[in-house]
């Protein structure tokens, strides 16, 4: 029995009906493109959330965690804004399923997460998807994985109140071991692309900072993209074909955001081609270009991410970029295995010079997406 299963038995007095696991994600390339109907290329990471779950018939949802205080709500209390903290994510999933008219009742839930805290590796998607998959199986909903991802996103958008795109939930629900997922966020088709890094490593550099003041900036970026699409008369920035012409009709922030989104979509397609050709080291320049664009055009980086990326490249990485929403969290670097120690030392030294907290390093290997453990 997993640790979550054992803890469930202690908290609720009997064994769970089942145990599920969903991973966090790291994004190889394709940043801030998902909510523009664009392309992304994330993969599931080995860290995630394990959820032990049983149904209950009294209209109550009990939420326990090995990492945080628990909470119990009735199904009637599932109203956006009424549940706060971590519990809003699983509660939001129950809410989203019921909003869709699906026959989901109460539940006893216990979760155990091991995603490095605050690293920007999407512990929230792991939490949502693990619980959504559990309820899907227990209540016999028969939802396809893409639907599970969309419902998890709905929980985060409309119950938690974070206007995220669908990338993280898709990566968690559909990830495949040894593969990155090339996702078209308009059609929601996800193509697994083998990510065989050979004698190289994708190194996660966790800056261990999160700039809370920037939290509202995600929604601002979305609005600026929508505004640009409206000015250009397209459904979304995905539809821009003549970039030079589009840029000549825009100014200020919407112009910079558009340039990033259109070029980032092309970079994703280029990386897919290179990976399919087995040319992993050649994606390095694409990673660097993505970072510069996120820093200068999309303006979602921060000093700690920039220093991590620059010092990693100076230390010998083939390429590096911030990953995820930005303003802290993690960067990734593509590094030949015999240069790993040089790269880590270079980043550590750059942080120490500035008197910053030591960053953490994790090798990222593409892991399996959400699945039932027991």
Size of residue set near ligand GAF by CB under 6 A: 10
Which is it for the CA torsion 304, 307, 313, 315, positive or negative? negative
Q: In a 3-state reduction of DSSP, which class is residue 33? A: coil
Cα separations in angstroms, 153 against 34, 89, 101, 354: 12, 10, 17, 38
- Residue 35 touches ligand GAF, criterion: CB under 6 A: yes
Smallest gap from residue 361 Cβ to ligand GAF (A): 21
Residues 206-265 that bind ligand GAF (CB under 6 A): none
> How many other CB atoms are there within 10 angstroms of residue 239's CB atom?
16
What x/- string results for residues 305 through 324 when contact with ligand GAF is judged by CB under 6 A? -------------------x
> How many other CB atoms are there within 10 angstroms of residue 257's CB atom?
27
If the CB atoms of residues 23 and 165 are measured against ligand GAF, the closer one turns out to be: 165
Residue selected from 31, 128, 206, 259 as contacting ligand GAF according to rule CB under 6 A: 31
Q: How many CA atoms lie within 13 A of 186 on its CB side?
A: 10
Q: How many residues does the chain have?
A: 374
Cα separation, 145 vs 307, whole angstroms: 38
Q: In a 3-state reduction of DSSP, which class is residue 87? A: helix
Whether 121 has a binding-site annotation, put simply, is yes
**Interface stretch with ligand GAF, choices 30-38, 56-64, 95-103, 224-232 (CB under 6 A):** 30-38
Whether 28 has a binding-site annotation, put simply, is no
Phi, psi of 130 (to 5 degrees): -60, -45
Whether 142 has a binding-site annotation, put simply, is no
| CA angle in degrees (0–180, nearest 5) for 320-115-173 | 85
**Interface stretch with ligand GAF, choices 7-15, 32-40, 203-211, 362-370 (CB under 6 A):** 32-40
Whether 2 has a binding-site annotation, put simply, is no
Smallest gap from residue 294 Cβ to ligand GAF (A): 9
If the CB atoms of residues 126 and 200 are measured against ligand GAF, the closer one turns out to be: 126
* Residue 112 DSSP class: E
Smallest gap from residue 344 Cβ to ligand GAF (A): 25
Contacts (Cβ under 8 Å, ≥6 apart) of 134: 18, 20, 51, 53, 107, 109
If the CB atoms of residues 157 and 231 are measured against ligand GAF, the closer one turns out to be: 157
Residue selected from 7, 34, 50, 204 as contacting ligand GAF according to rule CB under 6 A: 34
Cα separation, 157 vs 134, whole angstroms: 20
158 labelled catalytic = no
Smallest gap from residue 372 Cβ to ligand GAF (A): 25
Residues 157-186 that bind ligand GAF (CB under 6 A): 164-165, 167-168
Cα separation, 303 vs 199, whole angstroms: 30
Residues 329-358 that bind ligand GAF (CB under 6 A): none
- Residue 32 touches ligand GAF, criterion: CB under 6 A: yes
Smallest gap from residue 253 Cβ to ligand GAF (A): 17
End-to-end CA gap in the chain: 8
If the CB atoms of residues 35 and 95 are measured against ligand GAF, the closer one turns out to be: 35
Whether 65 has a binding-site annotation, put simply, is yes
Q: What number of H helices and E strands is found in the chain?
A: 11, 13
Smallest gap from residue 124 Cβ to ligand GAF (A): 8
- The helix, strand and coil proportions of the chain, stated in percent and rounded to the nearest 5, come to 45, 25, 30
Q: Which of 37, 112, 168, 206 is catalytic?
A: 168
Q: Which residues bind ligand GAF (CB under 6 A)?
A: 31-32, 34-35, 164-165, 167-168, 324-325
- Which residues are annotated binding-site positions for ATP? 65, 118-124
Task: Provide the annotated active-site residues.
Answer: 168
């Amino acid at each position: 029995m997993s640790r979550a299963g054992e803890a469930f038995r202690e908290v609720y007095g009997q064994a769970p009906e089942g145990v599920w696991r969903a991973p966090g994600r790291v994004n190889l390339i394709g940043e801030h493109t998902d909510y523009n109907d664009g392309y992304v290329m994330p993969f599931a990471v080995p860290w995630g959330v394990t959820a032990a779950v049983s149904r209950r018939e009294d209209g109550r949802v009990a939420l326990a965690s090995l990492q945080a205080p628990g909470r119990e709500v009735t199904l009637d209390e599932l109203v956006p804004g009424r549940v706060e903290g971590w519990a809003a994510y699983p509660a939001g999933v129950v809410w989203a399923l019921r909003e869709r008219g699906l026959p989901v009742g109460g539940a006893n839930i216990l979760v155990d997460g091991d995603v490095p805290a605050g690293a920007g590796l999407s512990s929230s998607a792991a939490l949502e998807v693990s619980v959504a998959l559990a309820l899907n199986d227990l209540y016999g909903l028969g939802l396809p994985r893409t639907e599970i991802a969309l419902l998890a996103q709905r929980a985060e958008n409309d119950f938690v109140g974070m206007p995220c795109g669908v990338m993280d939930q898709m990566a968690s629900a559909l990830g495949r071991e040894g593969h990155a997922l090339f996702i078209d966020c308009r059609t929601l088709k996800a193509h697994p692309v083998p990510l065989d890094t050979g004698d190289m490593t994708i190194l996660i550099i966790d800056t261990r900072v999160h700039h809370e003041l920037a939290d509202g900036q995600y929604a601002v970026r979305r609005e600026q993209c929508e505004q640009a699409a409206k000015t250009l008369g397209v459904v979304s920035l995905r539809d821009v074909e003549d970039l030079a012409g589009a840029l000549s009709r825009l100014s200020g922030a919407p112009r910079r955001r558009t340039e990033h989104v259109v070029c980032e979509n092309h970079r994703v397609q280029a990386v897919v081609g290179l990976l399919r050709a087995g040319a992993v080291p050649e994606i390095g320049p694409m990673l660097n270009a993505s970072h510069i664009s996120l820093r200068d055009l999309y303006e979602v980086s921060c000093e700690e991410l920039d220093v991590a990326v620059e010092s990693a490249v100076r230390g010998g990485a083939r390429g590096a970029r911030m990953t995820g929403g930005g303003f802290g969290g993690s960067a990734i670097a593509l590094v030949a295995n015999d240069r790993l120690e040089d790269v880590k030392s270079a980043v550590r030294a750059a942080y120490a010079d500035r008197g910053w907290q030591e960053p953490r390093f994790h090798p990222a290997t593409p892991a399996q997406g959400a699945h039932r453990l027991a």
